[in-house]
Structure 1
């Protein structure tokens, strides 16, 4: 299929190193893309539960705490806790006591689980793409055990409620969803890969070295998160180019 405009929502590394013929790109540009940092440090554990967990922090709340649990639940008590969690990943392992961002979407959409049951989504940091010892294939289950053990410190009855668990590692994100390095934001959101440097200096306006090929994903400004902003910005630049013809 031929088209005058191609818009890629894949990450920059995937777009230029897997979808584009390298002979169509300048060697210097290719080298910079190969050095674009895109190794993820986050994983997910999804749980099917037979009931709603009882969080210790809600002991004094009337009822089952469902109203309080409809939002996001953060497990990251203080800065020292977060620093220790990062230290584990810094030295090549997943966090033994990870930061967790948790939602129970079945509290707001009852069609997601049978009556009385629930689903829980646990976003976990830190879980480096490359492990110093072993790999994600051999260590995925022990990782999930660590997540559940930590979460059980805050919701003691969690274990007995678990019917099924799904583990999504950075490697899974790469192999299943095509995210280079399993990075959910299409690349590190650090100062040298942010703003006018995203994805590369000189190429931060959604255009690429290939005429008619544009980027519109989280690997462009303003980066990751469910904002729609990269796509909206890219569409404006594409319209400018079309009007200028």
Structure 2
């Protein structure tokens, strides 16, 4: 029987961040991953979709990690293990059907000038947003980087009350419930600016008409404006390798092909895990599980008396959001944008849509389990930041369709027969044809430069990572009732669980999805604080 101070279940960003933080604090850490490689939703493939191309199949962009709390504490160790980030001064852009474009730059004056070009006054509105929301950014980002039901959470509330005053805090909270549509329509006149900013709420699994989406829109817009949209040179695997290296260099263990099927307990405390082959692994200090609530409470803790029925019932009711489709296009040359090529070719991500109403319509159709007639296309250009990912002179497009039903019942355009809703290869490729055809109206050389493509349906995502139920890349709907204090559920809040020495981490927990590592970082710090108590460690 292997023994560790801490056992970590899973190896996604949160699991590896937690393992690295604990390993640096002299803990013997064991990471156990069911898949044949580490990384969770970070999966980098060489020679995909063609020889000489390096592709991040799922997650790709790391602004939340670089701008979050974990990276500063680990940056030196990661850098020594070869992790290098590449960035651009244009993290975001938009391309509209009428040929209009907009950019978001890390230079505030450049963005303001572009907004004014589209509609006089929108530039000043942008500068005002940066000043006013920027002054409160410590509160906003603090809420996403603090264990809210804790002394740290109370301290953040006290700081916010002191900084804003009671009425100012009340107003700030009211604004936090606002939809993105309300914020955008009330702040910017240009529909192209709306088309630039509104799709970003989809990166948290929300739609622009959802309550709380305005807050998320502001947070992401400010993060992009301040930090850009960096990617690791050579692909996300470089971050995975560097984090795993911190663990193993400290004497810890990372094991793949090691599926955990049960968390073992004694006297209401987690004491270790059991693997699918029957092997038992002991945990002297803690177990951290990067899994969904159903997996944790209904499977790994099945029959454990320390888990109240109300917690199991809440886990059963945890909801998942829309699915995701990924399309990877290898090109013989960089994408040639039909309009505003010089600027759009430097952008990390170009959102292709017809604006706010189009984004809202696609979200609504996907929520009704229809293939959207005009999906919002997230067109990522990682090679614009990191040319090492493609052969010399070549290009690549990393496409994401965040409004894809996990099991479609129909087609909003009434052109594709979805059959019984199973994501067959034929259905997957026909829907991808619609997406690539629409993108071809904006990228002039898409047909002539296309070398190969690879398409991943929601079913493909779930097959690779069991946390992505129905292809939901965010491991759970991010509506307000499942966010902040209420993530994953009001009955199981934060990262502690009813079982002592067991912590719940991952995208299903606070602060939610995104490649930030926040929940792993918060839980690891709690483990370390607890271990300093004289009665906590055996």
TM-score for both structures, normalised by structure 1: 0.89
- In 1: Cα distance, 2:475 partner to 2:371 partner: 20
**Do the aligned partners of 2:345 and 2:384 also contact (CA within 8 Å) in 1?**
no
Deviation at 1:76, TM superposition (A): 2.4
* C-alpha deviation, 1:66, in angstroms: 7.3
The residue that corresponds to 1:95 in the other structure is 372
1:143 matched residue in structure 2: 431
Aligned to 1:15: 296
Residue 448 of structure 2 aligns with which residue? 160
Structure 2 equivalent of residue 47 of structure 1: 329
> 1:130/1:39 Cα in 2 relative to 1: closer, same or farther (>3 Å)?
farther
Matched, 1:206 2:495: yes
Local SS of the residue matching 2:436: helix
What does the per-residue CA deviation read over 1:106-164, in whole Å, with 9 as the maximum and x for residues that have no partner? 22222211112122111113101121143212411111111101111211321222221
Pick the structure with more strand per residue.
Answer: 2
What is the CA deviation profile of residues 8-31 of structure 1, one whole-angstrom value per residue up to 9, with x for unaligned ones? Answer: 22233333344x042124333222
2:443 and 2:479 map into 1 onto residues whose CA distance is: 34
Aligned 1:66-215 pairs, distance under 5 A: 68-132=345-409, 133=418, 134-137=421-424, 138-178=426-466, 179-215=468-504
For the residues of structure 1 that align with 2:292 and 2:309, how far apart are their CA atoms?
19
Is the 2:322–2:366 Cα contact (8 Å) retained in structure 1?
Answer: no
CA distance in structure 2 between the aligned counterparts of 1:172 and 1:116, rounded to whole angstroms: 31
Q: Match of 2:167?
A: none
Q: How far apart are residue 198 of structure 1 and its match?
A: 0.4
Local SS of the residue matching 2:525: helix
The 8 Å contact of residues 85 and 125 in structure 1, kept in 2 or not, is answered as: no
Counterpart contact for 1:186–1:224, Cα < 8 Å: yes
Identify the residue that residue 3 of structure 1 maps to in structure 2.
Answer: 283
Q: Distance in 2 between matches of 1:135 and 1:7?
A: 34
SS of the residue aligned with 1:2? Answer: strand
| Structure 2 unaligned regions, length at least 5 | 1-280, 410-417
Give unpaired runs (5+ residues) of structure 1: none
* Secondary structure in 2 matching 1:23: coil
1: CA distance between counterparts of 2:344 and 2:355?
25
Matching residue of 1:34: 316
- Superposition deviation, residue 2 in structure 1: 1.0
Deviation at 1:90, TM superposition (A): 2.8
Q: Which residue of structure 1 lines up, in the alignment, with residue 162 of structure 2?
A: none
The question of whether the paired residues in 2 share the 8 Å contact of 1:140 and 1:169 is answered with yes
Task: Decide whether aligned partners of structure 1 residues 209 and 100 sit closer, same or farther in structure 2, where only a CA change above 3 A counts.
Answer: same
| Structure 2 residue matching 1:221: 3-state secondary structure | coil
Q: CA deviation at 1:84?
A: 2.2
Pair 1:30–1:202, CA change in 2 (3 A): closer
1:67 Cα shift?
7.2
8 Å CA contact retained: 2:344, 2:350: no
CA distance in structure 2 between the partners assigned to 1:117 and 1:214 by the alignment: 45
In structure 2, what is the Cα distance between the partners aligned to 1:220 and 1:81?
A: 30
Decide whether aligned partners of structure 1 residues 193 and 150 sit closer, same or farther in structure 2, where only a CA change above 3 A counts. same
Q: How does 1:227-242 map to 2 (within 5 A)?
A: 227-242=516-531
> Number of aligned pairs?
239
TM-score (norm 2): 0.42
What is the Cα deviation at residue 95 of structure 1? Answer: 1.6
The DSSP-based 3-state class of the residue aligned with 1:227 is: coil
Q: CA deviation at 1:99?
A: 0.9
Q: After the TM superposition, which of the residue ranges 35-44 and 167-176 deviates more from structure 2?
A: 35-44
Distance in structure 2 (CA, Å) of the matches to 1:168 and 1:34: 28
Cα separation, partners in 2 of 1:80 and 1:208, compared to 1, 3 Å: same
Query: Aligned equivalents of 1:85 and 1:23: distance in 2?
Result: 42
Higher relative contact order (CA 8 A, sep 6+): 1
Residues 122 and 172 of structure 1: CA distance in aligned 2, closer, same or farther (over 3 Å): same
C-alpha distance in structure 2 between counterparts of 1:22 and 1:6, whole Å = 16
Query: For residues 239 and 155 of structure 1, what CA distance do their matches in structure 2 show?
Result: 51
CA contact (8 A) 1:205 1:237 kept: no
3-state DSSP class of the match of 1:120? strand
Q: In 2, are the aligned partners of 1:39 and 1:188 still within 8 Å (CA)?
A: yes
